[in-house]
Amino acid sequence: MNTNWIQKNILGIIGIVIGAIAGFAYWRFIGCNSGTCMITSKPLNSTLYGSLMGYLLFSIFKKEQKIQKH
């Protein structure tokens, strides 16, 4: 993997990891008792949803590069 790509997307990567941990923890400790909840009934669904939400939340703080015109 290119380290330049990682440096550009570090906030998104951190968001995915933290979101995945939070999604799994939500399933583990709160979850859905009846099994009818689409997101929280299975650990994979909850972890993937948490990853997506973490990425979206952390990507808000990404600074955009300004292009200079000469």
Kindly state whether residue 67 falls inside one of the protein's structural domains: no
Structural domain that includes position 29: 9-59
Mean pLDDT, to the nearest integer, of 39-62?
Answer: 91
Mean pLDDT, to the nearest integer, of 39-43?
Answer: 87
Kindly state whether residue 17 falls inside one of the protein's structural domains: yes
How many domains would you assign to the chain? 1
Query: What's the pLDDT score for residue 70?
Result: 66
Question: Using CB atoms within 10 A of its CB, is residue 5 exposed (0-12), middle (13-18) or buried (19+)?
Answer: exposed
Structure tokens at 57: 């939340």
Q: What is the DSSP letter of 42?
A: S
Query: What's the pLDDT score for residue 69?
Result: 75
Selection from 10, 5, 3, 1 nearest residue 63 by Cα: 10
Structure tokens at 59: 């990507």
pTM above 0.85, yes or no: no
